[in-house]
Structures are given as C-alpha cells and as structure tokens.
Amino acid sequence: MKRLVPAVAAFAALVLATGASAQSGKLTLYTSQPQADAQATIDAFRKIHPQVEVTFVRDGTTQLMNRLQAEFVAGAPQPDLLLIADAMTMEALKRENRLAPYAEAKTAGLPPGSHDAQKTYFATKLISTGIVYNKAAAMKPESWADLLKPEAKGQLIMPSPLFSGAAAIHMGAVTRAPGLGWAFYEGLQKNGAQAARGNPAVLEAVAGGQKLYGVIVDFMAIRARERGSPVEFVFPKEGVTFVTEPVAILRTAKNPAAARAFVDFLLAPEGQSLAAGQGMFPARADVPPPAGFPNLANVRMMAIDVAAILASDEKDKERFSEMFGR
C-alpha cells in the first residue's frame, strides 16, 4: 500500500473498509481519452484491482462509434466499457438500448444534468467551451455578445460542429439559450467568423496572431497560457457549455462486475482527483480543480438538454454548414 499514490491508496483503503470485493478477469475499454491519460487511468484502477486485465482501444469518438456499430452488426461487440467525449453519443446508444443501467452508481456531488437520469452514463469530468483571445487584442471579451462587436469583425475562429462533438453540443445549447439563439450565429456570420475543423486549429490561429479571438475548450487554452503562450481564456458571463467525457457500461459487457468497479473508481473523489491531475475540471465540485482553473462553483453553466440537441442535431448541422460552409 505504501507504494500507491495517496489518493489511490485512500480509495484502496476505502474498498477494504467497506468490504467491496476486488475484481478479476478481463475488461475491454473503448476510449477517446489521449493515450497517456487512458493508460494513467487504467494503471490507477489496477492498483486497486490488480487481478483485472484491462485492454483498451483508443481513437476519436466518431471512429470508435463506427467500429462499434460494425461490431453490433456482426453480433460481436467487444468493449465492456465506453469512456468517450460527449453525452450526445451516449444518448444515441441509450436510445438503441445498448447501455446497461447502473442504479447503484454513486452520483452524489455530480452537478445536475451531468449524468443520465436512468443511470446509464455518467460524467467523469467537465470540459467547458469558452473564449480564447490573443493578449495583443484591444478588446478583452467578457461575454459571448462581445464577439459580435466591430472589434471582432473578421477576427473570430471557432470549431465546426461538423467535426467537433464539443462544438456540436455548444451549438445546440447556445441556439436554445435565451438572449443568444440562432440570432447569435447569424451575427457571427455577418461579423466574418470562420469555422475550423477542430479546437487545435483554433488555438494555433489565436496563439499565432492570425486571429484575435476564438471559441475553444477550456483546457487547451489554459494549458497553452500556462506554458507561456500569448493567450487568455474567458468563461463568458452568460455561461459556458460543457461536455462530460461520460463513462457507460454496455449491456453486452462480458465482465459487468469489473466494469461497475471501473465506473465506481472514476466517480469516487480519488478518481476525480486523477481527472484534475490530467488538467481537466473534475465533475465533482468537492474535488479541487487543476492549477490555472477557477473554482467550479464560480463558473456559470448553460442548461444543456442532451436529448433535445440530439433530436435536432442533423438539422442544426445543416443550418450551420449553410452559414459557414463545410
């Protein structure tokens, strides 16, 4: 036990104290986490359950879903667990009755709306979308509305929802938000906003000075700032949208007991501390955020209706593409 990092050691002690049984067997995870983060998460879990042999497949969420859909068609889905970028994908799988409910999952401390009401998927962290700007910019934005000002004309770049899951949820939430709506996107178009394929392209353009303002996920901009990049990140006063990197167990899981143990670890304070150590907002407000991040209680979050966004996703993306191109 002395060899374990304190957070994992504490959780291991909790497992022993509560009489929870150590798991064994094989466990297969499909994840869109970065390779290093996925390996670190698995290593921490296996310090508590060393008899579980975990294999994982890492790819983008779209690519993973294409692979999984092919496995469904073949009648041979491989993963026990999914740990992917956004809840909209999980909601689609839930509608297909692919996810196993986990009624006993401990969701205390998770913010409202961050997990499925039927407990088929659960937030493991919060990745918000806000505004990044170059420090050379004369206007220092504080709100989404500031991006419609003349100072931002031709100077805004944002990730396209046609390529980014976070951007798709952002679009779905913003177009339903009072005071913003589709009128906000129409204003961006008139102000010369440009759509990029993803968040990395946004950061590159703003940090390099090709654009002064961008719409981006929080950790990319904050990490860049901490490394000395000439950028600042803003949590707009109207609120931020967020994705939750949810975890879910498939109904076809071959080792459901170990899969539940993996979910337990991710939702526990110790697993949440691991997420913070990876530079992300933990989903639980009682776990301190990483350096450079504000207290989660001080960040205003927009309401996100994942089911409603999913229902109109294709129509919304088509409208976006008509405005900003593909």
Q: Does position 14 have pLDDT exceeding 70, yes or no?
A: no
pLDDT at 54 over 80: yes
Instruction: Tell me what pLDDT residue 232 has.
Output: 98
pLDDT surpassing 50 at residue 16: no
Q: For the ranges 4-13, 161-170, 207-216, 308-317, which has the lowest average pLDDT?
A: 4-13
In the chain, what is the greatest distance between 2 CA atoms, to the nearest angstrom?
Answer: 62
pLDDT at 137 over 90: yes
Contact 143, 300 (CB under 8 A): no
Q: Which residues of 29-61 are buried (b: 16+ CB within 10 A; e: fewer)?
A: bbbbbeeebbeebbebbbbbbeebebebbbeeb
Whether residue 152 is predicted with pLDDT greater than 70 in this model: the reply is: yes
Q: Give the CATH fold of the 6-125+244-293 domain.
A: D-Maltodextrin-Binding Protein; domain 2 (3.40.190)
- Model confidence, pTM: 0.82
Q: What percent of the chain has pLDDT over 90?
A: 79
**Is residue 1 scored above 80 in pLDDT?**
no
List the structure tokens of 187.
């204003």
Characterize the bridge pairing of strands 51-58 and 125-134.
Answer: unpaired
Query: Quick one: pLDDT at residue 61?
Result: 84
CA distances from 76 to 22, 38, 68 (A): 27, 24, 9
pLDDT at 63: 87
**Closest by CA position to 11, among listed 126, 102, 106, 121:** 106
Whether 11 shows a pLDDT value over 80: the answer reads no
Dihedral sign, CA of 193, 126, 287, 177?
positive
- Environment class of 154 (CB within 10 Å of its CB; exposed 0-12, middle 13-18, buried 19+): exposed
Catalogue the long-range contacts made by 55-61 (C-beta closer than 8 Å, 24 or more residues apart): 55/26, 55/27, 55/28, 55/29, 56/28, 56/29, 56/30, 56/31, 57/28, 57/29, 57/30, 57/31, 58/31, 58/32, 58/33, 58/34, 59/30, 59/32, 60/32, 61/32, 61/85, 61/86, 61/89, 61/165
- Nearest residue to 130 (alpha-carbon basis) of 145, 148, 113, 144: 144
pLDDT at residue number 109 = 82
Task: Assign 60 a pLDDT band (cuts: 50, 70, 90).
Answer: confident
Write out pLDDT tens, residues 106-126: 998 888 778 899 999 999 999
Residue 13 has pLDDT above 60, yes or no: no
Beta carbons within 10 angstroms of residue 107's beta carbon: 16
Tell me how far apart the alpha carbons of residues 209 and 281 are, in angstroms, rounded to a whole number. Answer: 27
**Is the confidence at residue 231, as pLDDT, over 60?**
yes
Comparison of pLDDT for 14 and 300, the residue scoring more: 300
- Report the pLDDT value the prediction gives residue 18, as an integer from 0 to 100: 34
The per-residue pLDDT for 2 is 37
Beta 121-122 vs 247-249: how paired, if at all?
antiparallel
Give yes or no for residue 6 having a pLDDT over 90: no
Asked whether the domain spanning 127-242+299-324 has the same topology as the one spanning 6-125+244-293, the reply is yes
Question: Residue ranges of the domains in the chain?
Answer: 6-125+244-293, 127-242+299-324
pLDDT 10s digits, 246-280: 999 999 999 999 999 999 999 999 899 999 998 89
pLDDT at position 22 is: 77
Q: Over pLDDT 70: what percentage of the chain?
A: 94
CATH architecture of the domain with range 127-242+299-324: 3-Layer(aba) Sandwich (3.40)
Q: Check pLDDT > 90 for residue 24.
A: no
Q: How confident is the model over 80-111, as pLDDT tens digits?
A: 999 998 899 999 999 999 999 999 999 988 88
Cα–Cα distances (Å) from 222 to 124, 211, 225, 290, 291, in that order, read 19, 17, 5, 10, 9
Identify the DSSP state of 181: H
- pLDDT of 17: 34
**What ranges in 197-305 are assigned the alpha helix state H?**
199-207, 218-226, 256-267, 269-277
Average pLDDT, the chain: 91
